[in-house]
Chains A and B, each alone.
Chain A
């Protein structure tokens, strides 16, 4: 089926007219632009469905394929905003270009592999001036301990060796930024440590624009993966 651009004094066939309607409305709906010689050419990533003041009410579909960004007025979805997978050992893992006020909350999934380390640390905006406090609670196969109320130069969480940590951070300015985390550590196919904790970065003013991770020693090995999700 083709699209026909009509000319002056042209006699149309019913088929031509019907085909034009079908071209536009039948089957898959594609974004079209006017092509050469009055044709309609499908284009990619150019046109919108609806507008900021002329929105569709509800979209019904089986699959939603989005290659760019998602936003909701009430920030009611989580969307991945940054991630990295190390291909080589790194002493620091830094995410820059963040906007804590835009997203309000970050959720971080950290699959870490230590080269060597002592405790995992998280700093915001490269602030290492003792503006942090944390409580950490952990259980190993042989002991049960806590580490409370420490004034620190970084927000702490505790994975060991090879771990998975889930971290939730309140990121909006106006109050100290609080976080909570859970972590499970493994070695040689067995769980060696579970931990949960939380703390605060005592800066209520500066927007969070970067987060840096380190582990107090030689850092993280290849395969370490960090994903940051924000409310959009």
Chain B
């Protein structure tokens, strides 16, 4: 029963998110807005519930599975992908490595700068 309660709540928030995006013409996807609304609700209530914890853990622990059908969609574009495979492969690899490393480096550098600044102020 717990799982059912939790998943119902998640679907309600997704639905509210999707509808708000549609009605208010916000340029972000409905589930993302639903997530923000749920986060705000949890912060306002000050606690989560066992049913929500159960269902979110269940969904998130198999997150990779949920990407499989979209990944299989690659077969539709096999022609375009094989035609441009070299630029596509190099771009995907290089750009992903560059983004990952610079983001981590910036995150670290700014945190260090801030903690050094706050120590000076102390």
Bound together? no
B interface residues with partner A (beta carbon < 8 Å): none
